[in-house]
Amino acid sequence: MGKYRGARAGALALALGLFALGLFPAQAVGEESPYLEKSWLLWDDLVDPSWNPEEVFKDLRINEMSDNDPRAEEVVAEFLNRWNQAPINPGMNGRKIKIPGFVVPLDFEDSEIKEFFLVPFFGACIHVPPPPPNQIIYVQAQEPIRGLEAMEVVWVYGKIKAEKFETDMGNAGYTLPADRVELYREGG
């Protein structure tokens, strides 16, 4: 746990701040035309509406500690435990969506990616800690995607499932068998 000391507490606060901003929208889509701009969602719409991310910090007293405080490891462990319990929004289950995000490859073979995490901000899952599970989507492409790079921004289309997927890179609260994956362009 020594690797989480010092500047890592700042990284945790930064990650929470980026998460709370909901920088990238997700597009809910209608049944009659699967990918029309019907209504826009933010990444934080994937979070259970009753969850307050600030509660993760409740009673941890981070502001009372210095970087070399011996209690820091204990506090970081408790923070990560709470962070990993972040609930998903069950109302998203089974919805056809179009969502942009950054690619974190889980398999990479011969310049092709078939499985990856989709995350809301650059560097997620590469830097410690990963976003909470309700901000990670495990994507399975129908066919291997050639030429896709780590941290490239893409649109992913498909029906999202409230289904966990766990790896060493992070824990996804959702899975998304992708109908389509394309490079991000503003406006979709």
* pLDDT by 10-residue block (mean), the chain, 188 residues: 37 39 42 45 83 78 81 82 89 91 89 93 81 94 92 92 90 95 80
Residue 5, Cβ neighbours under 10 Å: how many?
15
> How far, in Å, are 60, 117, 146 from residue 79 at the CA level?
8, 22, 38
Q: What is the number of alpha carbons within 13 Å of residue 137 lying toward its C-beta?
A: 35
Identify which of 126, 134, 128, 103 has the alpha carbon closest to the alpha carbon of residue 19.
Answer: 134
Domains of the chain in start order, with CATH, are 2-183 (2.40.50.870)
Give the list of residues 6+ apart from residue 111 with CB closer than 8 angstroms, or none. Answer: 146, 147
Q: How far apart are the first and last CA of the chain?
A: 41
Residue 129: its pLDDT value, please?
80
Euclidean distance between CA atoms 12 and 166, whole angstroms: 20
